[in-house]
Structure formats: structure tokens, C-alpha cells
Amino acid sequence: MTASALPFDKVLVANRGEIACRVFRTCRELGLTTVAVYSDADGDAMHVREADEAVHIGPTRSSESYLRVEKIIEAAKSSGAGAIHPGYGFLSERPELVEACAAAGIIFIGPSAHAMNVMGDKVSARRAMLAAGVPVVPGRDDIEDAHAARAAASEIGFPMMLKASAGGGGKGMRIVRDAAEVERAFEAAKREAIASFGDGRIFVERAVERARHVEIQVMADAHGHVIWLNERECSVQRRNQKVIEEAPSPCRAMTPELRAQMGEVACQAARAVDYVGAGTVEFLLEETDGGASFYFLEMNTRLQVEHPVTEAITGRDLVRDQLLVAAGRALEYGQDDVRLDGHAVECRIYAEDPYRFLPSPGPVRALVWPQGSGLRIDAAVDEGSEVSSHYDPMIAKVTTWGPNREAAIARMRRALADTVILGIQTNLSFHRRVLDEADFCAGALTTGYVAEHPQLCERSQVPQAEAEAAAAAAAVAFAAALAGEGGRLGQTASNHATGEISAWRRSLEP
């Protein structure tokens, strides 16, 4: 497929950071012109420099720039972009953007406003999935006050989970273990839901505490084809947000039969809302003596942060598929063409204190990314970049592939050991500890993994600190050597981070 085969030749990415850079790479491969948007804080950001064109859309605050639908539409019109890719976060799951694109005659690279409306609200999504025969966690969705929450508890039992109907990212969620906690937890969840989403509706579910977070990637076109592209394990989370993802799941109960069953249920969920594009159906997977049970959690109506691990084991370019189906084309492959080749692991690199998980904004003084086969870097920063306190602190994703899980993890250990970022705190040391932890290595994971392993967040490992100090010294020396030759350390990192997607995975033993 080339740009001449599409009804648009210029794509605006209504986002920033690594996801904008990621979409630009596939657009370039297809010969499409790219347009970046940026706020006052992002004038010299990597995604702005990598785009063919860039349009300023407002002040630093995202509520005055990246979250303003009318400014995104104006930017597309002024630049002549015929399509808008939303990335993830910001406006990616806002039906208002889809509707505004339709009104302006611009192609939205994603699902319909109807699909977003149904799946974006957890209560309507539960109801739609129940009607479609998709298994959901037992619960109640008509909770108006703490009294109703206590009544629901008498039906579903403790522990139970209070959730914001319009929630996401762990906001508006509380676990309640006994009746004495209900009122306080309900009021806290409602306050947070109103503050985060402007919507205080709450529903309750049975808390499935010893479960895995396993999700299925789906891709659908407008011609009735819905395909599942295997599963991802996303159980390593902090504060209900994913930190490490892998594909396929290391769960011992994940047989080919269970994988196919979950895949078909995910497609069933997508068909229930006439879904078109890339989407992810998330499940709680509960291991039992007889195998495993799974329950619908939610559907993300966009590309996921962790999509590189799926690309690694299937050989697909999911952004290319998104562009294709948005243009009205049929998918070029069927379910029987989807392969599962090897294993992939992704570590999200955050600018944050690795012990308390608090953001660490500031300038990136020096930067060294790892290199080698079976390795992919999706970066949002290079040397000299300023990590803003106004946006999500994720600055990169490191993804490794291997012929099996052990090989992929070994390659990731080496990659993280070779990564140096100076000037800000990062969670690199946290990732290194997880990769060496016995339960993680054994694949014994639940969504409570981080809380159940508090040693991962202790400031005690002197050998690790010494290793990091040595790596930092080496980075400074390397930077100085390059500067003496007229080079720039950050340029080396940037070049590596933006390499061709089609060439990043190699079937070599680490």
C-alpha cells in the first residue's frame, strides 16, 4: 500500500511524545506527509522535529491545547491534513473529536463515535457485553449512594471494587473489604471521579484480587472482518497503571484453546458495537483448579501503549493496519494468517522516582540507548529535551524480542543495563529489580504483584547503586568524547530510536 492508494496524503497526529513519533514512522514508510501539533512547552520537542510540518495549538496546559477539539480541527484544516490519528490518551477516546472530523470532512483514524460512547462508559459497556453474551465480573451498575453500595455488597460479597463509570487509569477506584469501609470508600471514589472525569457515577463489582490482567488485541475493518492478534500480559502495575507488558501471557493456564476462546470473545465484543480499527479488549484472568476463568474488564477504543509487543510476535504493523481500514480498505490478512512467533517484553520508562513513583521533570543532560538485535526503542526525548511536569511522565518504551520468554527477558536485562539517562530520575532501577525477581521470572503474576513485593521499591541495593553510578560516569565520558569530535550524544540516541520498524526484530539468540 502506498499513499497514492489512500484517500488522504497528509496525516495529522493529535498527540505528542513517543506515540506521535511512532505514527510518523509508518506514515513515512507509506509516503504520507506528517503534521505535528504542539503547545508552548513543546516547541522543540522530538515529535515536532520529526514531523514534516508542525502547527502550534496553544498554551502549555493540555486543557488549552491538546484537549481542545476545535484547535485540532483548525490545525488539520490549515495544514491540509486529510486524516487525523489520535494516538492514545488526550482526545483518543473522545467521540467529540470523531464527530468534529466527520463534520469537517476529515478522516478519523479510529472507531466510530458510537463505539466510543458505548465502550467509553463502563456501565454501558457492561450492559452491552452482557447482552452480547460476554462474561463480566458479577456486580451492580445502579449505585447512587453508600446505602446502595452496602446493599450491593450483601449480594456480591466482600471484597468488592468501587469503580468510576467514566473512569480509566486507576482513577475513581477503591477496594472495600468490609461494611465499615463502604461509606468512606464510596465518597472518596466519587470525589476522585468528579475531579478526574466530571462524572461522579459509581458502580461495583466483585473484587477479583488474585487475577491477571490479560488483554486481546483486535483489528476490524468496515467489511465485516474482525481479527484477534493474540494476547498481552499486563499484570505488573503500579497504582493500577501498567509498567511492564509481555506477549504472549506466561500464565500456565494459557493453552491454545483458552487463547482462541478469549480471542473469539474479544471479537464478539467488537462486533457488538460495529467496531472498526485497532482496539483492545481487557480481561481479568483468574486461575482455578480446573484451568482458568476470564471476565470482561473494559475495551480501549484506540491503539495501546503496549502495542509493540504484539507487533513483535505477529510481524504486523498495527498503525499501517489502522491507516488501511480508516481509508475503507479491507484487511490484507485473515485469522489463519496471524502467527505467534517467540516472546516479547516491554518496559515503560518513566521520568519518576523509582521508589515512590512520583514524577521527576527536568532536562535530560545525557542519554544512551541500548543497541542490538531483537530490540526496539520508542522514545519521546533525546539529549537536551525538557521533561515537562504538565504531561504524562513516560519518556520511552524499551521492547525486546526473543525466541522464548527467558531469551526476551535476558535481552531486556542487557538493554536496561546499557541504558543511561542523566538529569532526571527514572524507573530503570525498578525494572531491573523486577526482571531479577523470582516470581516474575517464573511468570507467577497478578495485578497485585508490585504491592506483594515491596522490596522492589526499597532504597537498599548498594551494588545496584554502584552499577548505576559507573554507568552514569561512562555516559558522561562518552558524551564528552563525542563532543570533542563534533558529535552529539543525543543525536545518536535519536537516530536509534527512530529506526525502521520493519527491521527491529531479528530471530537471533541473545
CA distance 129 to 137: 11
pLDDT of res. 500: 36
168 has a pLDDT exceeding 80: no
DSSP strand pairing (202-206 vs 160-164) = antiparallel
3-state secondary structure of 125: helix
What are the backbone dihedrals phi and psi of residue 252, each rounded to the nearest 5 degrees, phi first?
Answer: -65, -25
Q: In which band, very low, low, confident or very high, does the pLDDT at 249 lie, cut at 50, 70 and 90?
A: very high
What global pTM score does this model have?
A: 0.89
Q: Supply the DSSP string of 29-76, one letter for each residue.
A: HTT-EEEEEEEGGGTT-HHHHHSSEEEEEE-SSGGGTTT-HHHHHHHH
CA distance 220 to 203: 30
More confident of the two residues 477 and 336: 336
Element (H, E) at 128: helix 122-131
Q: Is 329 exposed, middle or buried (0-12, 13-18, 19+ CB in 10 A)?
A: middle
Q: List where CATH 3.40.50.20 sits in the chain.
A: 3-109
More confident of the two residues 87 and 471: 87
Q: Supply the DSSP string of 440-458, one letter for each residue.
A: HHHT---TTHHHH-GGGG-
Least Cα distance to 464 among 507, 424, 435 occurs for 435
pLDDT of res. 510: 34
Question: What are 107's strand-pairing partners?
Answer: 83
CA distance 412 to 67: 35
Q: Grid coordinates standing for 438?
A: 523470582
> Which fold is adopted by the domain 208-341?
D-amino Acid Aminotransferase; Chain A, domain 1 (3.30.470)
CA distance 66 to 139: 35
Q: List where CATH 3.30.470.20 sits in the chain.
A: 208-341, 349-510
What is the layout of strands, in order, in the sheet containing 343-350?
A: 291-300, 277-288, 211-220, 226-238, 241-247, 343-350, 394-402, 375-379
Contact between residue 164 and residue 192 where contact means Cβ atoms under 8 Å apart = yes
Instruction: Among 93-97, 285-289, 462-466, name the most confident range.
Output: 93-97
3-state secondary structure of 230: strand
Number of neighbours of residue 215 by Cβ within 10 angstroms: 27
Contact between residue 210 and residue 289 where contact means Cβ atoms under 8 Å apart = no
472 has a pLDDT exceeding 80: no
Q: In which band, very low, low, confident or very high, does the pLDDT at 342 lie, cut at 50, 70 and 90?
A: very high
Q: What is the DSSP letter of 180?
A: G
CA distance 461 to 455: 10
pLDDT of res. 198: 87
pLDDT of res. 132: 93
166 has a pLDDT exceeding 70: yes
CA distance 216 to 61: 34
425 has a pLDDT exceeding 80: yes
CA distances from 485 to 283, 314, 421, 478, 488 (A): 52, 41, 21, 11, 9
CA distance 203 to 296: 15
More confident of the two residues 19 and 461: 19
Least Cα distance to 379 among 411, 413, 347 occurs for 347
14 has a pLDDT exceeding 60: yes
pLDDT of res. 497: 39
- Which residue, chain included where needed, has cell 503534521? 35
Q: Which residues contact 367 (CB under 8 A, 6 or more apart)?
A: 381, 382, 383, 420, 421, 422, 475, 489, 490, 493
Per the prediction, the chain carries an average pLDDT of 90
pLDDT of res. 267: 98
Query: According to the CATH classification, is domain 138-206 in 2.40.160.60?
Result: no
Q: Which residues contact 379 (CB under 8 A, 6 or more apart)?
A: 18, 21, 46, 369, 395, 396, 493, 494, 497, 498
Helix pair angle (17-29, 318-326), 10° resolution = 70
CA distances from 279 to 144, 241, 329, 389 (A): 31, 18, 17, 29
- Say which CATH architecture domain 3-109 belongs to: 3-Layer(aba) Sandwich (3.40)
> Which fold is adopted by the domain 349-510?
D-amino Acid Aminotransferase; Chain A, domain 1 (3.30.470)
